[in-house]
């Protein structure tokens, strides 16, 4: 059965096994954070969750609504990717380089093509479809220095009614000529785009200096002014990813005692600032980040693929918001499940194990908190937007063998199955993706 009109509104109910997080399992016992309803009902009206609970309890009120039954499949909130470069999609999986050489060899030439609006739109369409195929329904996205690449992305996201955050990449030095902007022009373009796209439908804007190396102090100053003028837009950049990058940053900003101070001095560290990587931050930088309310995008596949280092997740999560991210094309997969597994391995290499529920939190509610979208998405709370995914626990022969047991009933059983889905799963795990209640083609 599909959705229909009920008293003039778009109404649909979903019945199945639901799993979400209602609290941070890094700071409270998992039993208080995980919600699992083996037979639940999610009631959606005009894209918003109107009711959620056990089927038995809601059946009387909503039994007559058009209902989609997902049987023994597992329904999760849509996954959230806190840092990803859409223009790098064509160069994902490029061989043999660490950050600075990888940027020069593969990334900059790839980004140089995005002055072409038609090409940009084609890649934006491909990228968004690939996200949806992987169960990712929201992302914080980097573009290029070309306004055409920003327009193409926002138009493609708007057409799909997706909740997305993005912004024009700012870079005025240390890049090939074809990727250098003029700081004043770039700031004016950013300003115009904020006015066009920020809070338009489900879209939001992020002011996006690439990183300290590629912006002159003048450009960072202009960016800081924009942030002061539009305090509720995001700031999105890279921080402390790679040893060579940190060394060059120190040379370029000798007046700063460390990397974070480069951003601090221009007013760029606050509660709507998201910093990708943050692998090598000092204790002082971590403390200042926590005090300012900044958030971190943890990019495990990228950190391993580019050989950047092991992110100190356990330390960061003591007082900083952290969300999971793929960082495609430095990252090697669009799948947030694969990304969770690599996060698990990074924790293992540092002597602790990341539970399946903590990993899922980092890709759902924790990611929503990282992006200051916790009132809007991240779980099945009534009033939130109904972006969710349906997993086929038997999607491959190996998954079917590993998950031969019926739907889990206890939290321990859920944890066990979720962990195996996370480690063995990829895009094939995603049976359906729903955006604002509606199932989309994947």
Check binding of 302 to ligand GUN (CB under 6 A).
Answer: yes
Q: How far apart are CA 50 and CA 14, in angstroms?
A: 12
- Mark the segment that binds ligand GUN (CB under 6 A) among 99-107, 127-135, 151-159, 190-198: 99-107
- Mark the segment that binds Zn ion (CB under 5 A) among 17-25, 276-284, 356-364, 420-428: 276-284
Check binding of 219 to ligand GUN (CB under 6 A).
Answer: no
CA angle at residue 174 from 172 to 176, to 5 degrees? 85
Helix H segments across 198-241?
217-229
Question: Counting beta carbons within 10 angstroms of the beta carbon of residue 258, is it exposed (0 to 12), middle (13 to 18) or buried (19 or more)?
Answer: middle
Are the C-beta atoms of residues 385 and 163 closer than 8 Å to each other? yes
Taking the least distance from each CB to Zn ion, the nearer of 112 and 331 is: 331
Check binding of 245 to Zn ion (CB under 5 A).
Answer: no
Check binding of 111 to Zn ion (CB under 5 A).
Answer: no
Supply the minimum distance, in Å, between the C-beta of residue 325 and ligand GUN: 10
Supply the minimum distance, in Å, between the C-beta of residue 281 and Zn ion: 16
Check binding of 210 to ligand GUN (CB under 6 A).
Answer: yes
Supply the minimum distance, in Å, between the C-beta of residue 227 and ligand GUN: 19
Instruction: Give the contacts of 320 (CB within 8 A, at least 6 positions apart).
Output: 286, 289, 290, 294, 295, 296
Alpha-carbon distances of 84 from 167, 238, 370, rounded to whole Å: 12, 11, 14
Are the C-beta atoms of residues 139 and 80 closer than 8 Å to each other? yes
- Mark the segment that binds Zn ion (CB under 5 A) among 131-139, 268-276, 414-422, 433-441: 268-276
Binding mask 310-339 for Zn ion (x = CB under 5 A): -----------------x------------
Supply the minimum distance, in Å, between the C-beta of residue 192 and ligand GUN: 24
Q: Which helix (H) or strand (E) holds 81?
A: strand 79-85
Instruction: Give the contacts of 189 (CB within 8 A, at least 6 positions apart).
Output: 147, 168
Which of Zn ion, ligand GUN, none does 107 bind, CB closer than 5 to 8 A by kind?
A: ligand GUN
Helix H segments across 73-182?
99-102, 108-111, 117-133, 147-159
User: Count residues contacting Zn ion (CB under 5 A)?
Assistant: 2
Check binding of 241 to ligand GUN (CB under 6 A).
Answer: yes
Check binding of 83 to ligand GUN (CB under 6 A).
Answer: no
Phi, psi at residue 310, to the nearest 5°? Answer: -105, 115
Check binding of 99 to ligand GUN (CB under 6 A).
Answer: yes
Check binding of 327 to ligand GUN (CB under 6 A).
Answer: yes
């Amino acid at each position: 059965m599909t959705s229909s009109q009920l008293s003039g509104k778009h109404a649909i109910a979903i019945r199945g096994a639901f799993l979400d997080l209602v609290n941070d399992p890094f700071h409270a016992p998992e039993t208080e954070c995980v919600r699992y309803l083996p037979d639940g009902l999610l009631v959606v009206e005009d894209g918003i969750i109107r009711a959620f609970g056990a089927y038995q309890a809601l059946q009387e009120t909503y039994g007559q609504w058009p209902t989609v039954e997902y049987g023994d499949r597992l329904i999760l909130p849509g996954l959230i990717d806190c840092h990803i470069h859409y223009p790098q999609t064509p160069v994902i999986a490029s061989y043999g380089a660490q950050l600075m050489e990888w940027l020069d060899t593969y990334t900059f030439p790839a980004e140089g093509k995005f002055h072409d609006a038609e090409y940009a739109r084609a890649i934006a369409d491909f990228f968004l479809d690939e996200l949806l195929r992987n169960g990712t329904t929201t992302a914080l996205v980097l573009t290029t220095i070309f306004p055409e690449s920003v327009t193409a992305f926002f138009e493609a996201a708007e057409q799909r009614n997706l909740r997305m955050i993005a912004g024009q990449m700012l870079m005025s030095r240390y890049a090939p000529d074809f990727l250098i902007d003029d700081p004043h022009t770039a700031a004016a373009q950013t300003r115009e785009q904020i006015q066009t796209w920020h809070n338009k439908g489900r879209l939001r804007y992020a002011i996006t200096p690439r990183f300290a190396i590629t912006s002159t102090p003048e450009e960072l100053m202009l960016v800081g002014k924009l942030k002061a003028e539009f305090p509720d837009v995001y700031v999105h950049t890279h921080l402390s990813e790679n040893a060579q990058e940190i060394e060059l940053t120190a040379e370029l900003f000798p007046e700063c005692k460390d990397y974070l101070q480069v951003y601090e001095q221009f007013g760029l560290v606050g509660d709507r600032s998201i910093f990708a990587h943050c692998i090598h931050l000092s204790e002082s930088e971590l403390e200042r980040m926590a005090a300012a309310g900044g958030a971190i995008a943890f990019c495990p596949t990228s950190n391993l693929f580019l050989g950047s280092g092991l992110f100190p997740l356990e330390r960061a999560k003591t007082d900083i918001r952290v969300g999971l991210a793929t960082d495609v094309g430095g990252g090697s997969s669009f799948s947030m499940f694969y990304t969770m597994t690599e996060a698990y391995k990074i924790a293992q290499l540092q002597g602790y194990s990341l539970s399946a529920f903590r990993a899922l939190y980092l890709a759902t509610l924790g990611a929503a908190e990282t992006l200051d979208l916790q009132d809007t998405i991240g779980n099945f709370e009534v009033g939130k937007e109904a972006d969710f995914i349906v997993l086929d626990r038997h999607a491959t022969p190996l998954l079917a063998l590993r998950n031969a047991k019926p739907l889990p009933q206890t939290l321990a059983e859920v944890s066990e199955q979720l962990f195996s889905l996370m480690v063995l799963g990829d895009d094939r795990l995603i049976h359906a993706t729903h955006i604002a209640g509606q199932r989309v083609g994947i």
